[in-house]
Amino acid sequence: MSTVVAFTPMRARHGRGPADVIPISSGRRSRGHPAENGPPEASVELAPPLRLTRRGRLVATLAVALLVMLAVATGVLLISHQALAGDGARAVPATYHVVLPGETLWSIAGQVAPDADRRDTIERLIEFNALSSPGLQAGQRIGIPGDPAGP
């Protein structure tokens, strides 16, 4: 079998090379191994690049703008939303005590709720007064909730 290869000019498409190789055969194919016949010929046409029309560009631009506005609105709503501590907020009656020299939260807790565990009472006093530490100073005014022992 003899195969003749001819070189013909390629159509100028999208900046490709100047020549195209086209195999030409005598019309007879051997019936032997497929490798003897050579690779199968396939013509691949490349699709032209995607082009958007003016209306398509407008729709794409509006879609992106809508997504950006939606993201901004969601962010604003999430940031401006106030956190709620609970629905059962109630006023607690309180009395005030001025700390005398030598008094501690331990001694005040024993006076306020003698039957309750002092550790729990101290914890409630610290929470009620928003104290950063359990230490007190003489002359400091602390609030004592109406029910320091709690429920």
pTM for the full model? Answer: 0.40
Q: Is 145 helix (H, G, I), strand (E, B) or coil?
A: strand
Enter the tokens of residue 87. Answer: 């629905």
**pLDDT by residue (tens digit) across 44-65?**
778 888 888 999 999 999 999 9
The topology (CATH level 3) of 94-145 is Membrane-bound Lytic Murein Transglycosylase D; Chain A (3.10.350)
Residue 113 above 70 pLDDT? yes
Residues 8, 22: contact at Cβ < 8 Å? yes
Domain boundaries, the chain: 94-145
Q: Which of 82, 99, 80 is nearest to 139 (CA)?
A: 99
Question: Pairing between strand 19-25 and 3-9?
Answer: antiparallel
Using 50, 70 and 90 to split pLDDT, how confident is the model at 12? Answer: very low
For 62-106, the pLDDT digits (tens) are 999 999 999 999 988 888 767 666 666 677 788 899 999 999 999
**CA–CA distance from 51 to each of 36, 88, 139 (Å)?**
44, 61, 81
Are 122 and 134 within 8 A, CB to CB?
yes
